[in-house]
Structure 1
Amino acid sequence: MKVRKRYTFTLEDESRLEKLLQISASRGKYIICGVAVLIIFMTLGALTVGLSPARRLLPGYLKDSERAATQEHHMRLDSLQQAYEANNAYLSNIIAVMNPTTRPTRTLPDSAVSQIDTPFSPDSLFPTSVEERNFLSMMREQEKYNISVIAPLAAESMLFAPVNDESIISEKSKKSKKAEVILAKGSQVAAIADGRVIAVSQSVREGGGAAVIIQHAKGFLSRCSRLGTILVEPGDFVSGGQIIAITTSGNSRNNQRINIEMWHNGNELVPYDYLGDKNTKSPRYPIIDEEVGRGRL
């Protein structure tokens, strides 16, 4: 059997011939002990530098004040960039609207539009909390009275015109917020009041066709959809009764149906209450012409 070599480490006091310390171990144990001691010293050094103010003496290390100032400058720069992009987009839109030679173009690719039109999965939506339901109920009660009082008051001193002298609103949509207007095929469609065209789009929904959105005075907004040929562009100012589109031939042999929606300061309205139709009773609210100064019932 081979004898293992052992190494003895002795610490003695020669003046007194006294042994103070004697360690006897093999070479492997000495190596393991040396590595362990080295790791302990390295750990202690790292903790000392990392947890004490001595870390500030390391090359390339920023002081606390310098680091805070750098972060603040980065946030300011990011805010300035966002403000610049928003202002640039706003100016580009104004230039596009004011330039009569500019044609409306699609701003999003078809893939992005399809993703927007795709409804969210029910699994990805959080359930409504009790506080949110109570808040929505309270706001509905408040807005219910605001819509019925403020909108008719704002409608006074405005002149609303029917989309066509021969048009009628279907019986089933007279109380709906999306009125269905029945016209003869190929009829002309007029603006319901003075305003500026803010959007013209094509849609495959609601039976297809084009849609025109017009911003009127006193916070009113109207949208006509399921149209055929469009005769206006975004940025055009139109008067009440001015022709803005022509209906398509439609699937029916005798008539064509379009949709009209109205808003007042973001609140949906019932179009029949303000437009009525020529062949039935008058609108629910009297409309006064400011220039003539008489009621049109």
Structure 2
Amino acid sequence: MKGKFKTTKRYRLTFVNENTFNAVWTIKLSRAKVWFLSLVTVAAITALILWMILATPMSNLLPGYLLPSQRAQHINNTLRVDSLSRLTEINSAYLNNIARILGDEEPDSIAAITETQPSVVSDTLIETSAAERKFVEQWSARERYNLSVLTPLAADAMSFHSPVAAAVPLNPGLSAHARVKTLHLRVPRNAAVTAIYRGTVTDVHYDDTAGGYAVTVQHPNNFISSYAGLGTLFVERGEKLQSGDAIGAAPAGKLELDIWHNGSSVNPLSVIAF
């Protein structure tokens, strides 16, 4: 018997000039070479697309590709545009009033300008139901008992002291059911206000309600103290304090003291002896 030989299939790609019918370019291909050239072509196209995305500004068109710094810059620019638009409206109203005055016309009144202001968007949250309010009351009553027991225990290992010498509480009968138990103190004018315990200053801002600056200090065991009504500040955010370090001065002779433990307001009279 004659042996059977399996020949390899080969292909030829020829480019012919139709005018002269001469072969311009010829390439011989096998099946393996066709697969190899196809893979090389796909890889080259993929590499070109990746290069265009990574090395050109086209990457900014992809959703979610912006760097955090670029995203923050875009947000700031958007807010700045809104502020500039608002400022432009105010300046336009001012110039219109000047033009009316120079033209012997009646200028716009404050009430008329106020009516043009955008109205505040109302809260669209659904009101709580009676069952939800009842559940919140029951939970608050249970947590109130837990806090009243655990807070003194947590404060036993800490020695809080009065923020101002000779301070007199103006509302000693703080309600135990109040959500925020702010203690109002009468202190000597320009008295130095000190930290009730060691901690770190976490916030410094101006409080319109208290009529002065407010300083918040984070203490150990999840205690937080806040002092409002300060005129002169001696600390800044991030500063480490020891018990008794000066925070500021109370020029008006009044001071608001708040103490929080685990996110709940604590009556300062229960942990500080005035």
TM class, shorter-length: 0.5 to 0.7
Residue 127 of structure 2 is aligned to residue 127 of structure 1 = yes
| Residues 137, 85 of structure 1: alpha-carbon distance in 2 compared, 3 angstrom cutoff | farther
Any idea what the Cα deviations from partners look like across 1:16-70, whole Å, max 9, x if unmatched? xxxxxxxxxxxxxxxxxxxxxxxxxxxxxxxxxxxxxxxxxxxxxxxxxxxxxxx
Question: 1:205 Cα deviation (Å)?
Answer: 1.3
CA distance in 1, matches of 2:262, 2:120: 26
The alpha-carbon deviation at position 161 of structure 1 amounts to 1.4
2:206 corresponding residue in structure 1: 202
Kindly report the root-mean-square deviation, in angstroms, between the aligned alpha carbons of the 2 structures: 2.9
**Could you tell me how far 1:173 is from its partner in structure 2?**
3.8
SS of aligned partner of 1:218: coil
Q: Note the 1:215-294 alignment, pairs <5 A.
A: 215-248=218-251, 250=252, 256-277=253-274
Letter in 2 for 1:198: T
Q: How many residue pairs are counted as aligned between the two chains? A: 163
Q: Following TM superposition, by how much is the alpha carbon of 1:237 offset from its aligned partner in structure 2, in angstroms?
A: 0.7
Letter in 1 for 2:132: E
What displacement does 1:119 show? 8.9
Report the equivalent of 2:174. Answer: 175
- Tell me if the contact between 1:213 and 1:222 (Cα under 8 Å) persists in the aligned partners: yes
State the Cα distance separating 1:241 from its structure 2 match. 1.0
Task: Please tell me the residue identity of whatever aligns with 2:202.
Answer: I
Distance 2:248 2:136 in 1: 39
3-state DSSP of counterpart to 1:224: strand
Structure-2 residue corresponding to 1:155: 155
Instruction: Quote the Cα distance in structure 2 between the aligned partners of 1:272 and 1:210.
Output: 23
Equivalent position of 2:196 in the other structure = 192
Query: How far 1:276 sits from its partner (Å)?
Result: 2.4
Q: Is the 1:190–1:243 contact (alpha carbons within 8 Å) kept by the matching residues of 2?
A: yes
Larger Rg: 1
Letter in 2 for 1:220: F
Give the TM-score, by structure 1 length. Answer: 0.49
Provide closer, same or farther for how the CA distance between residues 85 and 273 of structure 1 changes in structure 2, counting only shifts above 3 A.
Answer: farther
Moved over 3 A (4+): 118-121
Q: Provide the TM-score with structure 2 as the length reference.
A: 0.53
Q: Residues 227-261 of structure 1: CA distance to partner in whole angstroms, max 9, x if unpaired? A: 1101000111111111110111x2xxxxx111000
Between the aligned partners of 1:160 and 1:119, the Cα distance in structure 2 is 43
> Structure with the greater relative contact order (CA < 8 A, sep ≥ 6): 1 or 2?
1
Q: Percent identity at matched positions?
A: 31
Q: Which amino acid aligns with 2:233?
A: I
Task: Give the 5 Å matches for 1:112-123.
Answer: 121=122
Alpha-carbon separation, structure 1, partners of 2:127 and 2:228: 34
Partner amino acid, structure 2, of 1:261: D
Conserved? CA contact 2:161–2:273, under 8 Å: no
